[in-house]
Structures are given as C-alpha cells and as structure tokens.
A and B are shown apart, each in its own frame.
Chain A
Amino acid sequence: MPCENYKDALTEAAASGADPANALCSNAKMAALRAHFESCASCRAAFAEEQALFISIDAGLHATANAEVPASLLPRVRAALGEAATPRRGWSANWLALGTVAALVLVIFGAYSVRRRDSSENPVSTAANTTSTKAVLPTPLDPISSSNSMANRSSAPHVRTAFHKNPVPQETLASRNSLPQVLVPRDQEILLVHYAGEWSRRKRAPLVAESADETSLAPLEVAPIQIDQLDVKLLAEEKSQ
C-alpha cells in the first residue's frame, strides 16, 4: 500500500501522542499501519517530523498560556476595588448638597443682618434682651458657666460671646455621648448591631408609656384646707379668779 494512504493515520497518531511502533494493534487498520511503519523509512521520518511539530506547538502554547503575571496587577485591582466600594454620589446629590449649603448660608446671613439692624435701631431693648438671654443661658449641663454665672453677672457680654464661639451645640454633645463607639471582633459586628437595635427598641417602649401617662392624667386637685374656728377654753385657775 502506498505511503499516502497512511498519512492521515500517522498525523492522528502524532496528534494523540501515540507511537505506531509500540501501539497495541486493536484493529486491522492499526495493525496495517504498524506493519507499514516498521518497513517504511520515509513514513518513520514523516512521523518524526509530525511529532516535532506537535512538540513545538505544545511548547508555544505553554509559553502563551503561562505568561508571567505583572506584579502591578493585584495592587492595581485592589486600588480599583477600593474606589468601587466607595459609593459615588450622583450629580443630583451633589446639587442637593450645594443647594442646602447655600440656603444655610443665606439664612445665617439674613438672621445676622436682622439682628444687627435691631441692635442699631433699639440699643436699649437689645441690651435688655441680652441681659435676659444671659440669665437663661447657664444650664445644668454646663457646670462651669453655672458656677460662674453669679460672678460674671457684671460681665454678661463676655459670657455670651464665649457661648457663641463654641461651635458644638450642647445637644450634639449629649447625643454623641449617648452613642458610644465600641471595639468588637470582626465576626461580632452584626450581632452587636442586632443587639443595639433590640436595646433601643426596648428602651423606647417605657418612654412612650411615660409620655402617654403625662398627657392622660388630669392635674391633681386638692381641696383647700378648712380650719374651724378655734374654741379657746379657759383654764381652771382663770375660772376661779
């Protein structure tokens, strides 16, 4: 049989990695190929070329598929992950924030100008108002100012200025104090938040009950004390006299 008839069989054998010389002759076709292969030198040479070609292909594929990964890849991806995790505000949110700030500035400026106009038009009443404001300002939450309130009564404007210089409102301080920060293990974050949610819900319930009692109960009415006319009796000696 001419060599041309075995060409495809030899190529397939090379592609599959089989060696016709050592192949098990499971069928007649393979037996014929093996017999021809042993007797034909040109087919053996062609098969060796095919094998070399597949070895080159495999080596090239290995080089292509196992390219060295640049060291910059993972840091780049981690940095991009950080950016992706931060929620980006849309343009509408930015405009909203800008508008809020602008409105706030206008309100503060308006209030300030009205106040200045009042003080320039009626300095006496403003001074009286200042005094009354001063008397109200000290609160139990601010022990320093309450203890000094009597001593500083003569220097009331100074006290008032000090209050205005402090940018943190007392309410904010109180609310911050009521929300403590806690260090917890990573795996207990969610549990703690659950607990905090339950805790705040339970805490809110009695407060609601308290406020309901205050509104429903009528003020206690006490009847005026009635004192009968005193009946003063004379002593025995006074009687005898």
Chain B
Amino acid sequence: MQELALIQPGGMARDEFLREAAQGEARREFEERLAECGPLAYRVACGVLRNSADAEDVAQEALLRAYRRFDRLRDRNRFRAWLVRIAFRLALDRLRSSKRREQRDTFWSHPAHQPPAANAEDLAVSNEFQAHLDRALGELPEKLRLVLLLAAMEGHTIDEVAAIVGVSAGTVKSRIFYARKQLAEKLRCHAKTIKTR
C-alpha cells in the first residue's frame, strides 16, 4: 500500500518545505540502511572494547554521527566503509579515554556470549585463552586489528573487507597473515601453559 502524507502546500514557505522533505527522504534512506549496518557498527565497537554496554553506546553514537553527516556522503555505496571507520575510531577513543577501563566487566564474563565448552574445565581454559586473545588483539596495530576483525565477521569475504578498508585484496591477505602470526607469537606460551595443566 502506498504511503500517504498530509501536507499543506501553501501553509509554509516553499524552501522550508523542500528542506523538510529532503530531510525526510534522507532519514528514510538512512533507516533502510540502519537494520543492515547497525549490527556491523556494534560488532566493530565490541571487537575493540570487548564490553557489551560500551559497544552499544559507541555503536549508537557512530550511527547518530553518520546520520547527521549523511547528506555529506556523496557515494552512498560507501556507507558501510564510512560507518565502520567512524565506529572503529570512536571505539578506540573510548578505549583510550575510559577511566573505568580497569573496573568494567569484561564482555566475556557474560554467560550468553561464551563459546560453547564441553565441561567446567574446558570452560575455564576457554575463558582464560579468550582473555589472553583479547589482550593480544588489543595490542595489535590498528590497521591489522581492523582487518582481522572484519575478516572474522560472518559473511565478509576478502574483497568486501578490502572494499570497506579501502585497500587491495592482496594487502588484506597480507595484513591477516601478519596479524595471525603476531597473535600466535603472543599466545603460544599461554597455550602451552594451559595445555600442560
């Protein structure tokens, strides 16, 4: 069914009405993208912050910022890449400036977000390894971290990650390789410690 609008053509200044109509159109277009890109912004923020509440705040802020500047984005096909960059930057800022960093609850302490484990021992081992992994991930250079997170997200191919980050597919592969290698170097000793118990 076609949507109707009740308007009073002569009731307001023409320019004002046109401006409002354009804003309405932009909002409709933005909301269409919101359902698709909102989770992406959240996951990027969550990958950096590893805290659900903080990630939700950052995702909301990133989406609002994107909405306010939506009319400045000439190529609307670049919206995902643009939003990812905003969310990633905001999450890094939040991580750096947060004074509650030591006090906050870790995202992975929430039972709903834990990877499946066979028993209590596996669960403890898994949590410990995940904590080490999160710490090692936080120590990676920003470029490597973003590419690794995007590549690990479901449904993202190398080409899509390359399009989002704005580099070639070869560069993405290279960054993934070096990021995983660095993570392995940091985690090797922890993996051995956990295994020998």
Contact = CB atoms under 8 A, between A and B. Distances in A.
Do the two shown chains form a genuine complex with each other? yes
A12 B181 CA distance: 8
Contact of B137 (A53, A64, A77): A64
A69 B38 contact: yes
A84 B60 contact: no
Contacts of B3: 185-186
Q: Provide the main secondary structure of the chain B interface.
A: helix
Given A73-B56, A84-B68, A186-B2, A57 B14 contact: no
Interface string B1-22: 0111111111100100110010
Provide the main secondary structure of the chain A interface: helix
A229 interface: no
Q: Number of contact residues on A: which range applies? A: 35 or more
A232 B116 CA distance: 132
Nearest to B4: A183
24 contacts: A15-B180, A49-B191, A56-B129, A57-B133, A58-B152, A60-B134, A63-B115, A63-B130, A64-B137, A65-B149, A65-B152, A65-B153, A67-B42, A67-B52, A73-B59, A74-B38, A77-B34, A80-B64, A182-B8, A186-B4, A189-B7, A189-B21, A193-B18, A196-B10
Interface of B: 2-11, 14, 17-18, 21, 23, 27, 30-31, 34-35, 38-39, 42-43, 46-47, 50, 52, 55-56, 59-60, 63-64, 67-68, 107, 112-113, 115, 129-130, 133-134, 137, 148-150, 152-154, 177, 180-181, 183-184, 187-188, 191
Contact of B6 (A12, A60, A62, A183): A183
Interface of A: 11-12, 14-16, 49-50, 52-54, 56-70, 72-74, 76-78, 80-81, 84-85, 178-186, 189-190, 192-197, 200
Contacts of B133: 56-57, 60-61, 64
B31 A78 contact: yes
Contacts of B60: 73, 76-77, 80
Given A69-B42, A73-B56, A54 B180 contact: yes
